[in-house]
Every structure is written in structure tokens, then in C-alpha cells.
A and B are shown apart, each in its own frame.
Chain A
Amino acid sequence: MQATNILILILGLGVLAFFLGRGRSLALAKPLGGIRQLHSLPSYYGMHAALWCALPSLFLLCVWMLFDDSLINRLVLDSVAAEIAPNDTASYNLLINKISNLADGILPRKGESAALVAAADHLVSLRIISSWSLTAVLLTLSSLGLLWGWSRISASFRARPVVEKVMQNILLGCACLAIFTTLGIVLSVLFESIQFFRSVPIFDFVFGLEWSPQTAIREDQVGSSGSFGAVPLFVGTLLVSAVAMVVAVPVGLMSAIYLAEYASKTVRTYAKPALEILAGIPTVVYGFFAALTVAPFLRDLGASFGLSVSSESALAAGGVMGVMIIPFISSLADDVITAVPQSMRDGSLAMGATKSETVRRVIIPAALPGIVGGVMLAISRAIGETMIVVMAAGMAAKLTANPLESVTTVTVQIVTLLTGDQEFDSPKTLAAFALGLMLFTVTLLLNIFALHIVKKYREQYD
């Protein structure tokens, strides 16, 4: 039986338990003189029974689903004949795939060795056993839970606090998911990175000047050992981000100032949402725009001035990325500028300062921490932006500070290394996780710092 069916069955049992529990409490209340005599409302007794019925089963289902596959695979492999038994991870995965494809009938059985066919049959039977035993166990568990929850119902039983406690713990669990996600990110990039740093020293990775991750298939090929010096990637990322910031910061900041301090109400109501459209456009669209419109345009423009602009220039990718970040900066800046109290403006204007003097000498200095925080968040965004650079920046790692040339970035390399069919444990794919670790660390530090500054700033004027 499929997991979804089992899930529906458990939930159905839960609903049944709810009505049974509610019914029992109502029946108990009747001779006592109505539901006023019960400690809690009847629906709480129903909820109590339902929780007992569904929760343990759901928990068991999750655990089972998580370990089911690997356990079955292990059992199958233990039983296969010695001549095809795997001796390393790669052949292990290959064998598992083959057996499971045989079992599913994707691969024809004809022509395969008897040992493999036997293993496939074994797999099929194990799967059937697993699924039936799971159903049986879960149904028993649910029924027992139902019975327990149902039997505990009495007029004096305090169902509401119990149910509320459970509910609150479920809510807490949902809130903690954020922590688990962070933990998951840290663990996943950290483990693979550590594995990577076993084959490539961390010092070579962080300070190496050459990036060519192509590891050769044969030992004797030229450049057989790929070099993993990530400095060109860092420089490329910084270059693209710098171009983006050069576009986004002045435009975003000035439009925020204009909208907050100068624009009439009508202009504000139309111009602000119109600018926010830029924030809602998917990055893949920007990437397409950068690669097919902006980059050729810049190349031709450069050619007419006698400049050679690469058709995958950092300028095109960074410029379009800057456009994408404009609304991000302008809305953050707008927030912090409007948070500056009106009394500051009044004080300055009453001295005879012009509006621009007020903005430049009073409002911007007062809002500076908030603005800096916003810009840092924007930088973190630019560093982590993927699609635009994947589509519009280059692949070749070049160590240059010239925005007219083609550079590659950390995110581009992560994507290139991980798409395509590679073995998971090769240094190439592991390198992507090491890059991910760098990316995560840098953006995390930027974010924490920036959010801290912005928070402090908000508190100042609250």
C-alpha cells in the first residue's frame, strides 16, 4: 500500500476517533445533567482521542519512510551472491539502481544473471512485506491509540489542558523547523566540504589563484589533477556584485529619497508599486534579458567606441543584477528614511535649510545605520544571486578587475559543477559544496550583521 493511502487512512481514523470521543463525552454528560458537568467541551474530548489515534502513527510512518529504503537495500545486498557483491560506494549505487530497475520492470529481465534476477525478486518480496507490515503496525497502533484516548474520557478528565499542551508543542515544532533548516544547511555543506578539504587542502582552496575543476578520467592525461584555487571566483563574484551595487545603490537611494521627501502623493502611489514590479520579476527573466538584450547591446556599443567588450561581460550581468536590486534598496531605504522623526526635518527647515540640505545633512546621517544595513543585505543578495550570472556571466575563471571582460562567480561554478551527471563523491561535486560553504558563511555574516544594525536603528526611533 502506498504511503499516501496509509496517510489518508490514518487521518480518517483520526476523524473517526474525534467523533467517537465527542460522542462518548456527550453520552457521559447526559445523565449528569448536560455538558456543563464535563470539565471540558465535548470537542476537546474528541480532539484528545483523535490526537492519541493519529499522532503516534504519523510519527511512526515518518520514521519508517525515512529508513525503509536503506534498510531494504541493505538486506537485499546482504543476500546477493558474492560474485556480484559491490566493493565500493560507486558500484554499490549502481547495483542498487540496477536491481531496483529490474524489480520495477524498467529493465528487461532477459539476459541478466540469475543472481541479479534473484536479488530483484528478493527486493520485490521485501517491499511487499515492508508495506504490509507497515500497514498492519500502523493500523494496530492507531486503534490502540483510539481505544486509549476513548477509554480515558470521563466527566472529570481534564481534556482541554492536555489537548492545548499537545497543540502548543506542535506549534513549537513548526517554529523550530527554522532552526532545523539552518542546521540542515550547515551540516550538509559542512560534511561535504570537510570531505573535499581532505583531498584539496583548505589553504589551496581559499588562496589558490587557479580554478580548473576538470579532473581527467585517466591518470596520465594532461592536467589530470584539477586545480581548485577559488580566488578567481571570489574576485569575479565581487566584481559582478560591485557593478550591481554601483547601479543599485545610487538609483535605489535617490528614488527612495525622492519618493519619501519630494514626490507628490499621486506620484508616490503610482511610482512606488511600479518600481516594486522590478522586485517581483523572476531572476531567470533578468538572466534572459541580460544575456540576449543587454550583453549584445553593450558589446556593440563598446565596439562602436573601439572597446572590446566580452559578450558575457561582468558589466552586463552586474548591471542587470543592479536593476533587480534597485527596489530592494529603495524600499529598505524608504523604511529607514520615513522612520526619521518629522521633528528632525522641522528643526532643519526652520533653520532655513533647503530640502536637499535637510536630506543630505540631517536625514541621511540620521538614517545612515539603517541605510548601511540595507546595502549590506543587498550585497549579500548580489553575492548569492545565481540565475543572472549563470545565464549572462562566463564559465572561465579569469582573475581580472575589468568589468568589460568575462568572469565567473561562485554561484555559477556551484551550478556548473552540480548539474550534469557526475558521481556524487568526486572532488568536482564536493568542490561545489565547499563553495556553498563559503557562500553561506559570507552571506550569513553579512545578514546577521546587517539585521543587527537595522534592528538597533529601529529601536532608536521607536
Chain B
Amino acid sequence: MTQLASADKKKRANTAKPTAMKSLEVEGHEATVGKVFTDNPKMTMRNVNVYYDDKQAIHDVSIDIAKNEVIAMIGPSGCGKSTFLRSLNRMNDTVDICRVEGDILMDGENLYAPKLDVVELRARVGMVFQKPNPFPKSIYENVAYGPKIHGLADTRVDLDEIVENSLRKASLWEEVKERLHQGGTGLSGGQQQRLCIARAIAVSPEVILMDEPCSALDPIATAKIEELIEELSENFTIAIVTHSMQQAARVSHRTAYFHLGKLIEVNPTEQVFTMPEHPLTEAYITGRFG
């Protein structure tokens, strides 16, 4: 299904009530169980398929992400959760052979519409990566990068303020305020990752995507990041892919379980980990495969 062909569907999606969508929009959807849709969606995904050349990585995924919620995506490695996450801010565009079909909307606006500028989109949907990837510049320059390229700060004072606020929000300010102009690569792994988070929130995105943000970190640094995610959820909508079920249980409000490119189950986190609806989910959280 191409983006253009789904234009009329998009119109309906905007007018129809979210609850009505279930029966109207989604066909052949029996694979996903649980509370897939919400009344208050920030992002809406319908029948999303992702291909690498001929290989299909994501099969017909439909899901809502609510405003200011933290949604965790879990599943065995290679299940496509990262691929799905990267298609939410069109990072998959950088991979030549990758093709995305279906509708991905934010506030009712199709993210894959031809006239949509991907620059604007990515400013609204920030991303934090698996491995901390600070630029080889100073800490200050790392955080100021986004505001600078987007022209958000009119004066040096504005910029200083944005940098300080972002670093404070990322709980890094106290640790680095004395050495803002030293290299960002000199920080520890956990600090680097928080720097990357600060960098992402410096442009005040609406949604932050996190792709296994703690997988390269030690437990103490991980705890700090998790704490941070909880604080951030007051202002931002967060989608986090994680390898660790405990982490999903700790930080998220809802959890989505992916299996071999299919979305199996979406439910409030507590429910997923106490009484999963789908046998595959149960098998995964009880550790029968991983």
C-alpha cells in the first residue's frame, strides 16, 4: 500500500472517533491482542509494513501512542522493534533499501506525506540511540547543535539558557557545568547517554524515541537514565525499545510485545507482566525464549 493511496483513509481517521477506528480501519488484525488503541493518541500507526529489499521486517502493525505516556517495546532480538521505532521519525530513510508502507500519523498528520519535511519531523520526534553518540565537539556544542541548526536561539544568552535547561532536564547540569567547553567524548558512558538525551530535548521535541538507550551502560548509569525517563514523561511522549523486561516494567505505562515482525500484544505494563493475554507474550516473559 502506498502513502498516496491511503490518503482517503487518513481523512477518515481524522474525522472518525478513535474508538470507532477499531472496527473500521483494521482488517486482518486478529494477531494483535489487548488495548491497542487509545482515546488520546499522539501518534497513530495503521497497517505498517516495513521491507528491506524483498525481506519484510514489519508485518501489518497498528498501534496508538498516547500523549505523555511511556510505551515500551519489547521482544526477542531481531523481532523488528528497532526497525519499527526508526520508522517513527523516518530514520529508515537513511537506509537505501528500506521501504515503509502504511500510515504513520502524528496529531493526525501523515509523516510519510510527500510534502512533509523530514527536518521538521525529526525536530518534533527526537531520538536517542543504543550506543551514546556524542559529536566530537564540546559538551556545550553538542547540546547547542540542535538549537543552532534550527535557528531556535536568537542570542547567545538564549542559547546558553537552552543549553542549561536541557542539561538540567537531563540531570547532567551539576556534573558538567564546570567543564561545558571540554570534549563530549571525555564523559563516562552514562554521562554521554544523558548528554545525548539533553541534546535531543534541546529542540523541545514532542516525542522522544529511545532505542535501547541503556544497553551499553552499567547498572548504576542505567538506573539514572530510568529515573530520568520517568521525569521526562511529564513533558514528553516517550517510546522506548528495550531488551530488558525489568526495565520495561519499571519505566513504562504500556508495553507492546513484538514477535518476528508482528505486534502480538499491547496492554498496560502491569497486565503484560502479570497476566499476559497472548500465549507468545507469556512464553517470552516467563523466559522460554529470549
| Stretch of A164-172, A270-278, A341-349, A418-426 that contacts chain B | A341-349
Least CB distance, A362 to chain B, in whole angstroms? 5
Q: Are A349's CB and B133's CB within 8 A? A: no
Q: Are A265's CB and B96's CB within 8 A? A: yes
Q: Are A350's CB and B135's CB within 8 A? A: no
Chain A residues within 8 Å of B196, by CB: 347
Q: Are A350's CB and B121's CB within 8 A? A: no
Chain A residues within 8 Å of B129, by CB: 343, 346-347, 350
The reply on A34 being an interface residue by CB < 8 A is no
Least CB distance, A399 to chain B, in whole angstroms? 43
Contact with B along A409-428 (1 / 0, CB 8 A): 00000000000000000000
The reply on A352 being an interface residue by CB < 8 A is yes
Query: In whole angstroms, how far apart are the Cα atoms of A265 and B200 in the complex?
Result: 31
Query: Which residue, B122, B129, B145, B149, has most C-beta atoms of chain A within 10 A?
Result: B149
Least CB distance, B63 to chain A, in whole angstroms? 21
| Stretch of A128-136, A150-158, A353-361, A431-439 that contacts chain B | A353-361
Residue in B closest to A355 when the chains form the complex, CB atoms: B94
Within 8 A of A (CB), among B65-109: 89, 91, 94, 96
The reply on A365 being an interface residue by CB < 8 A is yes
Residue in A closest to B122 when the chains form the complex, CB atoms: A352
Query: In whole angstroms, how far apart are the Cα atoms of A264 and B96 in the complex?
Result: 9
Query: In whole angstroms, how far apart are the Cα atoms of A348 and B136 in the complex?
Result: 12
Least CB distance, B142 to chain A, in whole angstroms? 9
> Which of these, A265, A343, A352, contacts B149 with CB under 8 Å?
A352
Chain A residues within 8 Å of B9, by CB: none
> Which of these, B96, B134, B137, B203, contacts A351 with CB under 8 Å?
B203
Within 8 A of B (CB), among A355-400: 357, 361-362, 365-366
> Which of these, A264, A346, A353, A361, contacts B133 with CB under 8 Å?
A346
Q: Are A346's CB and B91's CB within 8 A? A: yes
Query: Which residue, A346, A361, A365, has most C-beta atoms of chain B within 10 A?
Result: A346
Q: Are B133's CB and A344's CB within 8 A? A: yes
CB contact under 8 A between A350 and B137, given known A343-B131, A361-B145, A361-B149: no
Chain B residues within 8 Å of A350, by CB: 89, 91, 122, 126-127, 129, 200
Q: Are A351's CB and B122's CB within 8 A? A: yes
Query: In whole angstroms, how far apart are the Cα atoms of A264 and B91 in the complex?
Result: 18
Chain A residues within 8 Å of B149, by CB: 351-354, 357, 361
Chain A residues within 8 Å of B145, by CB: 348, 351, 353, 361-362
Least CB distance, B203 to chain A, in whole angstroms? 7
> Which of these, A349, A351, A365, contacts B94 with CB under 8 Å?
A349
Query: In whole angstroms, how far apart are the Cα atoms of A346 and B148 in the complex?
Result: 17
Query: In whole angstroms, how far apart are the Cα atoms of A345 and B133 in the complex?
Result: 9
> Which of these, A345, A352, A357, contacts B121 with CB under 8 Å?
A352
Main secondary structure of the interface of A (DSSP, over half): helix
Least CB distance, A347 to chain B, in whole angstroms? 4
Query: Which residue, B119, B133, B146, B196, has most C-beta atoms of chain A within 10 A?
Result: B133
Query: In whole angstroms, how far apart are the Cα atoms of A90 and B185 in the complex?
Result: 67
Chain B residues within 8 Å of A348, by CB: 135, 145
Query: In whole angstroms, how far apart are the Cα atoms of A162 and B137 in the complex?
Result: 56
CB contact under 8 A between A351 and B126, given known A346-B91, A361-B149: yes
The reply on B150 being an interface residue by CB < 8 A is yes
Q: Are A353's CB and B119's CB within 8 A? A: yes
Chain A residues within 8 Å of B96, by CB: 264-265
Q: Are B146's CB and A351's CB within 8 A? A: yes
Residue in B closest to A350 when the chains form the complex, CB atoms: B127
Q: Are B133's CB and A343's CB within 8 A? A: yes
Chain B residues within 8 Å of A357, by CB: 149
Contact with A along B129-168 (1 / 0, CB 8 A): 1010111110000000110111000000000000000000
Least CB distance, B98 to chain A, in whole angstroms? 13
The reply on B262 being an interface residue by CB < 8 A is no
Residue in A closest to B131 when the chains form the complex, CB atoms: A343
Q: Are B94's CB and A352's CB within 8 A? A: no
Query: In whole angstroms, how far apart are the Cα atoms of A346 and B95 in the complex?
Result: 11
Q: Are B122's CB and A362's CB within 8 A? A: no
Query: In whole angstroms, how far apart are the Cα atoms of A232 and B213 in the complex?
Result: 61
Query: In whole angstroms, how far apart are the Cα atoms of A347 and B122 in the complex?
Result: 11
CB contact under 8 A between A341 and B122, given known A348-B145, A351-B199, A357-B149: no
Query: In whole angstroms, how far apart are the Cα atoms of A346 and B130 in the complex?
Result: 11
Q: Are A347's CB and B137's CB within 8 A? A: no
Q: Are B91's CB and A349's CB within 8 A? A: yes
The reply on B123 being an interface residue by CB < 8 A is yes
Residue in A closest to B128 when the chains form the complex, CB atoms: A350
Q: Are B135's CB and A352's CB within 8 A? A: no
Closest CB pairs A-B (n = 9): A352-B123, A352-B122, A343-B133, A350-B127, A347-B133, A351-B146, A366-B136, A352-B119, A357-B149
Ordered by A's residue number, 27 sampled pairs between the chains whose C-beta atoms are within 8 Å are A264-B96, A343-B129, A343-B133, A344-B133, A344-B136, A345-B94, A347-B196, A347-B199, A348-B145, A349-B122, A350-B89, A350-B91, A351-B123, A351-B126, A351-B145, A351-B149, A351-B199, A351-B200, A352-B118, A352-B120, A352-B146, A352-B150, A353-B119, A353-B145, A353-B149, A361-B148, A366-B135
Further contacts, 11 of them, CB under 8 A, given A346-B133, A350-B122, A354-B119:
A265-B96, A344-B133, A345-B94, A347-B133, A349-B122, A350-B89, A352-B146, A353-B146, A354-B149, A361-B145, A362-B145
